[in-house]
Amino acid sequence: SQKIEQNSEALNIQEGKTATLTCNYTNYSPAYLQWYRQDPGRGPVFLLLIRENEKEKRKERLKVTFDTTLKQSLFHITASQPADSATYLCARSAGAGSYQLTFGKGTKLSVIP
Amino acid sequence: EPEVTQTPSHQVTQMGQEVILRCVPISNHLYFYWYRQILGQKVEFLVSFYNNEISEKSEIFDDQFSVERPDGSNFTLKIRSTKLEDSAMYFCASSSGTGLSPLHFGNGTRLTVT
């Protein structure tokens, strides 16, 4: 089965610094990876999608990279703010021809003022 | 911005009872999904639905589960005979397409089976 791992359960960072979250996957590279934000008691909210043939994608203070050699995606938040505190989820397609998403367990980011 | 709405936000039921969780997806979306998240665990796929039929389902989605789109706006998940281990947050999601289209999630129904 296609697995996705977010090895850091929690990350604390000082306001203004860059937060970097890691997502690793097994087996073959997915066609794309998606990143979501989840606040307590709420549903995930889509942030960014990066395709296999894209090395990097940016949206405002967010940046995602996709390294098929390392089988890894990095998610960066620059100039982090306390409002960025949330759990960030990485997701991949479950397999060839499947459109269901397999989610990682998430990394809980706390931005300390 | 259009959003996915789910009702009820909380549902408490006794083991063995039937529950129906309701969702109103975004109106122009064509693909509908149910995911669940047991407390402290990953978000897990249950089922996807397109063109009035199930397109994919996971091992979790056994004979006790069913989905329906009874009219042009609602999308429901029924659990026929609830078990304690069905206690979880159930999220409905919709998308305009598959693959590269992001999922839009509702805020979930917290189901507690006692």
Q: What is the pLDDT of residues A13-52, one digit of tens each?
A: 999 999 999 999 988 778 889 999 999 999 999 999 999 8
In a domain, B107, yes or no: no
Backbone angles phi, psi at B17, to 5 degrees: -85, 160
Q: List B residues 37-66 in contact with A (Cβ-Cβ < 8 A).
A: 41-45, 48, 55-56, 58
What confidence score (pLDDT) does residue A96 get?
Answer: 63
Please state the domain count of chain B: 1
Count CA atoms closer than 13 A to B108's CA, side-chain side. 22
Boundaries of every domain in chain A: 4-112
For residue A104, give the chain B residue with the closest CA: B42
Within 8 A of B93 by CB-CB distance, chain A residues are 43
Architecture, CATH, for domain A4-112: Sandwich (2.60)
Tell me the CATH number at B82. 2.60.40.10
pLDDT digit string (tens) for A41-87?
A: 999 999 999 998 898 999 999 999 999 999 999 999 999 999 999 99
Domain that holds residue B20: 5-98
In a domain, B106, yes or no: no
In a domain, B104, yes or no: no
DSSP H or E segment with residue B28:
none
Dihedral sign from CA coordinates of B86, B39, A72, A88? positive
What is the C-alpha to C-alpha distance for residues B111 and B114, in angstroms, rounded to an integer?
A: 10
